[in-house]
Amino acid sequence: MDLEHLDKLYTELGTASKAFQEIYRSQNNHPLGEQGPSYRLSALGGDLLEEGSELVEARNSLCGILTRLHTNFQGPSQLLHQLTTQTHLLACVKWLGESQVISCVPLGGSVALEELATLASVPEMM
């Protein structure tokens, strides 16, 4: 790992973080982290943001820098563990889609796991 490259990433992270905070504050009229009328934690994750908006672009920039930092610190065993975890999650999502389990989940409220399994005709061994 090149320390000069690492310093550059940390500088980029600081700049991107400040840009994100400024955009967030200008759009929400209160400091980041304070509860306000338009505060939505999920908005930081992207659920309530419009693609292409300034805040989305700033968040994506932060995520990209954090990914590059994570990659620089990751060793081979951590990389394999991460790839295995992601592959497992992808297989689970694929199975949920193929089994039509997701279509049985109500948009509002909740459903018991056993009831969901029955609705989706999931074999008992699963």
Total domains, the chain: 2
Same-domain check for residues 8 and 65: yes
Q: Are both 46 and 94 inside the same structural domain?
A: no
Q: What is the pLDDT of residue 111?
A: 87
Q: Do 93 and 58 reside in the same domain of the chain?
A: no
Residues 66 and 7 in one domain: yes
pLDDT recorded at residue 54: 87
Cα torsion 28, 33, 39, 41: sign: positive
Same domain, 69 and 15: yes
> Are the beta carbons of 64 and 8 closer than 8 angstroms?
no
Domain limit, last residue, from 32, 54, 73: 73
Helices and strands (DSSP H and E) totals, the chain: 5, 0
Q: Could you tell me if 61 and 17 are in contact, meaning their C-beta atoms sit under 8 angstroms apart?
A: no
Q: Are 4 and 57 in the same domain?
A: yes
Digit-by-digit pLDDT tens for the chain (126 residues) are 688 988 999 999 999 999 998 988 887 755 555 554 444 444 455 445 666 688 889 999 999 999 999 888 888 899 899 999 999 999 999 998 888 888 888 888 888 988 888 888 888 776
Q: Which of 54, 73, 92 is the last residue of a domain?
A: 73
Q: What is the residue range of 53's domain?
A: 1-73
Query: To which residue do tokens 């999650």 refer?
Result: 89
Are 22 and 57 within one domain?
yes
Same domain, 17 and 61: yes
Task: Give me the pLDDT at residue 15, please.
Answer: 95
Q: What is the pLDDT of residue 2?
A: 82
pLDDT of the residue at 123: 82
Quickly count: other Cβ atoms within 10 Å of residue 49's Cβ: 18
In this structure, the answer to whether residues 86 and 113 fall within a common structural domain is yes
pLDDT of residue 42: 47
Cβ contact 49:40 at 8 Å = no
Question: How many CB atoms lie under 10 A from the CB of residue 57?
Answer: 15
- The pLDDT score that the predictor gives to residue 9 is 92
Are both 1 and 58 inside the same structural domain? yes
